[in-house]
Structure 1
Amino acid sequence: MGNLIKAEFRKTLSLKTWWVLLIPLALVAFWLTFFWGKLTNDFADYIGSSDAREIARAVGLDASKLPVGLLAFAHGVNIAQLIPGLFGVFALAGEYRSKTITTTFLTAPNRVTALTAKMLTYVAWGAIYGLVSFGVSAIAVMASVDSGRWPSAGQWLAALGGTILASVLVTLFGIGFGAVLRNVPLAVVLFLVWFLIVENVLVVALWGQTDILGGILPNGTANGIVGGIAADAFGINSLNLPGGVDHWSALGLQLAAGAPGVISWWASALIFFAWTMLFFGLGWAGNQKRDIT
């Protein structure tokens, strides 16, 4: 297993994909966080003074001292985590396209071992992407938000753990998604269209009828890991909304954290883990007997 993992790392390091994707990851994470930091820095103006007072009262803080940097941070890393998802899509689907999957399977004792080595390798890559995303987003928060509105030390640590966890899971989701489709262009287009457009349109369009979609669908639950940490800090998740904040104001706040309909960070993590295992399991099963010639 150790040799197979080394081979997977050598395989990815021999290509430009890993560092080419780090560039948009850093740019997206920094500039989206910076933009949202500027937007939410004056919290009362962003959501309305009455809602700001109600949320501040619920969490026991002055409205000017609420950690709005956490909202900006969550929004930035949630969009940026699509990059490790794309990296995961290339992991197996890319090997079918380049025909290197034949060598991968033939040099391993069996396909289960080969796919396990790939999974463990990309867990490490997902963690690396998560660390980079956290670092640049944290810098963007400090550059765009007043220091009195930065997350606390505990919130920073929670955001770090949540970012790494989300990045790892999205990477594995991408592997499974690509393995099911086996077509890199199709997988990339469908992945981006669903995560960036289709699901978000559904969640917002149906918000007046139900807010559950954002708490159960793949994009919403992936975003809800870090977004849920921000929502919990403000008491604005779907299960714990201050009485004076109306349904539509809650949508605006949760959108600021990039996670409309979020239940809580741990619930989002569990549900997205289930989505990840579903696609990873389908991809795994489909590759056990698939012809590689």
Structure 2
Amino acid sequence: MTGLVRSELRKISSTRLWWGLLIGAVLFTALQAGITAGFAGVDPGGGQPPSPPLDTDEAIRSVYVTSAFAGTYIFALILGITGMTGEYRYKTITPTFLVTPRRPRVVIAKMLAHLGFGFGYAVAGLVAAFVVGGIVISLRDFPLGYGADQLWSGAVLATLAVALWTLLGIGIGTLIRNQIAAIMVAVFVTFLVEPIATFALNSIDLDWVVKWLPTNASAALTSPGDAFLDYLDWWVGGLVLIGYAVVLGGLGLLLSVRRDVT
């Protein structure tokens, strides 16, 4: 298994995709952190309440932790998706399974390798959020807030959450072989279906349903105390994410074992 994991790590690192996605994640996170810090506590007008000011723990966590997760997880998801679908797109899956006929070992090795890259993406996102968010906070004459309640534990949990999203990507990639279709479905569900479902069901007092969705389960790890939704406890949110990863990965594993490669 160690050799298979090393092989998968080489596959990822030998392409330009991983660092292209990493650059995108860092830039998106920096933008997110800068905007969050720049507008924290500012009255948006229109009768809407302002977000918490930068002298509160919630605002500091939003700038650093929530921005790092929000700016990184979709790129980690796409990395996981392409890790599996790329084998089918470039017709390398046949020699891969010929070298290692036990297909579950290949899928598990991919999961482990991408999990490691997911942790790397999360750390890079946190660095970008702390640097850019910290600069904007300083320019607004607020303390950096490194002693904010649950800041560092939230950073650790956000790192775990981002890494788990790469496993979700592997699971989606094994279920949907077509790379473009898999990415489009994942992005569509994550950025459109989940937010609409969250808003609609929360407005009719069905928040107990939507808080089990993957993005909201992730928010339980990264956004404690958020007033919009009564999130799960952080450890429950982590278990839910792991559950999604296991179910999707398990289904993908089952399908990859039973169906023909070509």
Q: Is residue 188 of structure 2 the alignment partner of residue 193 of structure 1?
A: yes
State which of 97, 101, 104 in structure 1 corresponds to 2:96. 104
User: In structure 1, how many angstroms separate the alpha carbons of the residues matched to 2:102 and 2:216?
Assistant: 36
CA RMSD of aligned residues (A): 2.5
Name the residue aligned to 1:281: 250
Q: Does the 8 Å CA contact 1:89/1:188 hold for their aligned counterparts?
A: yes
Q: Does the 8 Å CA contact 1:41/1:69 hold for their aligned counterparts?
A: no
Q: Does the 8 Å CA contact 1:41/1:149 hold for their aligned counterparts?
A: no
Closer, same or farther in 2 for the Cα pair 1:47/1:151, shift >3 Å?
farther
Q: Is residue 49 of structure 2 the alignment partner of residue 79 of structure 1?
A: no
Q: Does the 8 Å CA contact 1:227/1:265 hold for their aligned counterparts?
A: no
Closer, same or farther in 2 for the Cα pair 1:117/1:148, shift >3 Å?
same
Name the residue aligned to 1:164: 159
Name the residue aligned to 1:113: 105
State which of 143, 147, 153 in structure 2 corresponds to 1:148. 143
Q: Does the 8 Å CA contact 1:130/1:164 hold for their aligned counterparts?
A: yes
Name the residue aligned to 2:55: 65
Following TM superposition, by how much is the alpha carbon of 1:144 offset from its aligned partner in structure 2, in angstroms? Answer: 2.1
Name the residue aligned to 2:127: 135
Deviations 1:242-263 (A, max 9, x none): xxxxxxxx32xxxxxxxx4422
Partner AA of 2:69 in structure 1: N
Q: Which runs of 5+ in 2 are unaligned?
A: none
Deviations 1:86-144 (A, max 9, x none): 00000111211111111211112511222221111111111111111111011122122
User: In structure 1, how many angstroms separate the alpha carbons of the residues matched to 2:133 and 2:235?
Assistant: 24
Q: Does the 8 Å CA contact 2:221/2:237 hold for their aligned counterparts?
A: yes
Name the residue aligned to 1:19: 19
Deviations 1:263-291 (A, max 9, x none): 23222111121111111111011111221
Q: Is residue 216 of structure 2 the alignment partner of residue 220 of structure 1?
A: yes
Closer, same or farther in 2 for the Cα pair 1:98/1:155, shift >3 Å?
same
Deviations 1:149-170 (A, max 9, x none): 6242773421331122011110
Q: Does the 8 Å CA contact 1:112/1:288 hold for their aligned counterparts?
A: yes
Following TM superposition, by how much is the alpha carbon of 1:14 offset from its aligned partner in structure 2, in angstroms? Answer: 1.5
Q: Which runs of 5+ in 1 are unaligned?
A: 53-62, 237-249, 252-259
Partner AA of 2:115 in structure 1: V
Indicate the larger mover: 119-128 or 260-269: 260-269
Partner AA of 1:73 in structure 2: Y
Paired residue total: 255
User: In structure 2, how many angstroms separate the alpha carbons of the residues matched to 1:154 and 1:207?
Assistant: 27
Following TM superposition, by how much is the alpha carbon of 1:176 offset from its aligned partner in structure 2, in angstroms? Answer: 0.0
User: In structure 2, how many angstroms separate the alpha carbons of the residues matched to 1:2 and 1:78?
Assistant: 29
Q: Does the 8 Å CA contact 2:97/2:103 hold for their aligned counterparts?
A: yes
TM-score by length of 1: 0.79
User: In structure 1, how many angstroms separate the alpha carbons of the residues matched to 2:122 and 2:249?
Assistant: 20
Q: Report the secondary structure of 1:21's partner residue.
A: helix
State which of 236, 253, 256 in structure 2 corresponds to 1:267. 236
Following TM superposition, by how much is the alpha carbon of 1:64 offset from its aligned partner in structure 2, in angstroms? Answer: 6.8
User: In structure 2, how many angstroms separate the alpha carbons of the residues matched to 1:64 and 1:181?
Assistant: 43
